[in-house]
Structure formats: C-alpha cells, structure tokens
Amino acid sequence: MKHLLAVNDLGAEGIEEVLRVTDSFVEVSSRAIPKVPALRGKTVVSLFYESSTRTRLSFETAARRLSADIMTFTAPTSAIAKGESLRDTVETIQAMGIDAVVVRHGSAGVPQLIASWIDASVVNAGDGWHEHPTQALLDCYTIRQRRGSLDALRIAVVGDVKHSRVARSDVAAFALLGADVTLVAPPTLLPPSLEGWPVTVSHDLDAVLPKVDVVYVLRLQNERMKEALLPSLREYTASYGLTRRRADLLADDALVMHPGPMNRGVEIAADVAALENSVITTQVANGVAVRMAVLYLLLGSGQDLAG
C-alpha cells in the first residue's frame, strides 16, 4: 500500500491488517517508553489546510512514537496563507525529501490530487465531506476491542451524514467488516443519493436504538442552521439527539460513539457521553495507535507491499 486515501482502498483484509498491527502499537503506547525506532530517518509532513488540532496532534504523536521526523505546515502560518497554489506548496515540500504527507483539506479529493503529483505516501486526514479513513479505522478498532468483531453487529450512524467525511469512511469500513449499518437522520442531512451505499435508512431514532449494538453519533455543525437544512437545534435535538431518555432505550452492552468534538446538549447529552458504555475517550486513545499502524504499514513494511 502506497497511500491511504479512502477506506475502500484497504478492503476488508487491509483493514484487518491495520487492526492487527494496531494491537502491537497499543502495547507500545502502554509502556513507560511508548516509542520504537521503526521509522528512524523517515520524515512525515503534516499539511493541514483546515485547523484540526486533535487530528494533527494524533498523527504527529504517532509519527514521533515511531521515531520519524515531523514537519508541520498549517494554513495560518505558512506559504499556504500567502496564496501559493496547492501544487506549488506540495512540490516544495516534496523537494525537501520527505516520505509521507498527512493531508487535511476542506476540499474533497485533495489527497488524491496530491498523490498524483508526488512520490511520497499520502495519508488522508480528512478531505471535505469525502473521507477520514483513520477515524474509521480507530472506530473499528474501538468496536473490535469491546465486541471482539464487527461481523453482524448492528450499527446506527446518527446525524449529519450528508456533510460528514467520518460517516462516509465509517459506513464503508463497518460494512466491509460485516456490520449492518442504519443511517438515522432527517432527509435534509442525508446525501442526495444513497445508491451503492450498504445501508438502510430510518428517520425514527427511538425505533432504531433498542435494536443496535453501537450508536455512532455524528457532530452537528452550527452552520447547518444557516443553510435551511434544519429549523432549529432544538428541533434537531428533540428528534435526533441522543438524550438520556433515548440512551435508556439502548441494550445494556450497546456502545455509544462520537468522533469529537462534541456539541454536548445538541447531538449528544453530556450525561450520555459520560456513560460507562460510551467509548468516546477510548476512541481518542486508540487514535494514536491506529495512526502508528497506518504510518508503519505505509513507510516501514517494505516496498513489497506497494500497489
């Protein structure tokens, strides 16, 4: 594997391999010295056109724990802010002799474009509404940690699927690993077409919750109100928020997940996020190990795997 651009590039086997290697990095992360020399001499660039401190730090921590060198380009502080074109920026970075670029961009498809321009490995750290594959991998890892496997699990993905890169990656990954996925959202927050999506759709969260093993709550961005996609946050919460009352509809062992950052009181109630079956902080913790696995597999496992 040369790049990680989208979940479907990995396929079920690829995901399983990442998760297996993640097991080893979880062990590394638990040590007093959570660092291995695996990627000594490699240079990883984080190229973040959108500010996302959480994801950037997670990737940079992963790279450091693999002993790679890190360069950081973020939008407000670099040539990006001076109007340099995407291609020029990327070629400049490439000229510095680097091994991988971790890209976050507000436009869908940018990691794919960059991969077509340079020799280094490209890791998609979130592109527009398109994909956020490492988030899906850490979500799968977290579920697998708690439930053993995703096969035949029933997973509800609730909220703003239309504008969510997390939802696109998660739906693909969950389905590849054998889960049954139900999207629960108002029609205005669903993609215009679900042709080819391995999902069923519901607009009734109360009816779905008792039947699922995992409820995955998506973040609702406030700007959606301005686009007339919803009448009000209040109405959204009333219909689609994971309130305490709704959380009680869940099976005892059902997991509550959220990609963060949460809008507490909107898509998820504060006391629900704090429930024992909420694995939201575990997701964050697993993020570093999953990203170590991805960087290791891309940069450390040898050219034989390319392709």
Partner 1 sequence: MVDATGTRRADVLVAGGRVAAVGDDLDAPGAQVLDAGGCLVAPGLVDLHAHLREPGREEAETVETGARAAALGGYTAIVAMPNTEPAIDSAAVVRQVLDLGATAPCDVRVAGAITVGRAGKALAPMAEMAALGVRLFTDDGAGVQDARLMRRALEYASALDVTLAQHCEDEALAAGGHMHEGEWSSRLGLPGIPAEAEELMVARDIALCRLTGARAHFLHLSTAGSLELVAAAKAAGLPVTAEVAPHHFTLTHAEVAGYDPVYKVNPPLRTAADVAAVKAALAAGVVDAIATDHAPHAPEAKEAPFDQAPPGMLGLETALALALGELDLPVERVLALLSWQPAAIAGLAGEHGGPIAEGAAANLCVVDPAAAWVVEPDLLASRSRNTPYGGRKLRGRVRHTILRGEPVVIDFEAQR
Partner 2 sequence: MTSEDVRRAVTRIAHEVLERNHGLDGVALVGMQTGGVPLAGRLAAELERIEGTAVPVGTLDATFYRDDIGLRPLIPEAVTDITFDLSGMTVVLVDDVLFTGRTVRAALNALNDYGRPRSVQLAVLVDRGHRELPIRPDYVGKNLPTARHELVDVSDSGVDLGTVVPTAPGGAGPPASGEGAGLGPRRENRAQ
| Residues binding partner 1 (CB under 8 A) | 85-87, 105, 107-110, 112-113, 116, 127-131, 165, 168, 191-197
299 binds, among partner 2, partner 1, none (CB under 5 to 8 A by kind): partner 2
| Burial of 25: CB neighbours in 10 Å, binned 0-12, 13-18, 19+ | buried
Minimal distance, residue 168 CB to partner 1, in Å: 6
Please check whether residue 160 is in contact with residue 224, taking contact to mean a CB–CB distance below 8 angstroms. yes
- Nearest one of 261, 250, 158 to 211, comparing CA atoms: 250
Minimal distance, residue 29 CB to partner 2, in Å: 12
Minimal distance, residue 117 CB to partner 1, in Å: 8
Is position 20 an interface residue for partner 2 (rule: CB under 8 A)?
yes
Minimal distance, residue 109 CB to partner 1, in Å: 3
Quick one: residue 196, left, alpha or beta (phi over 0 = left, psi -120 to 50 = alpha)?
left
Looking at 24-32, 82-90, 220-228, 277-285, which segment touches partner 2 (CB under 8 A)?
24-32
Minimal distance, residue 38 CB to partner 2, in Å: 4
Is position 307 an interface residue for partner 2 (rule: CB under 8 A)?
no
165 binds, among partner 2, partner 1, none (CB under 5 to 8 A by kind): partner 1
**Region 269-298 residues binding partner 2, contact defined as CB under 8 A:** 296-297
| Burial of 134: CB neighbours in 10 Å, binned 0-12, 13-18, 19+ | buried
Q: Which is nearer to partner 1, 166 or 208 (CB)?
A: 166
Is position 36 an interface residue for partner 2 (rule: CB under 8 A)?
yes
Cα of 297 vs its chain's centroid, Å = 18
Going by C-beta distance under 8 Å and a sequence separation of 6 or more, which residues neighbour residue 207?
Answer: none
| 3-state SS, one letter per residue, for 107-150 | CCCHHHHHHHHCCCEEEEEEECCCECHHHHHHHHHHHHHHHCCC
Q: Which is nearer to partner 1, 164 or 237 (CB)?
A: 164
Dihedral angle, C-alpha 268, 271, 273, 276, nearest 10 °: -140
Collapsing DSSP to helix, strand or coil, 10 comes out as: helix
By the criterion CB under 8 A, which residues form the site for partner 2? 17, 20-21, 23-24, 26-28, 31-33, 35-39, 42, 66, 296-297, 299-305
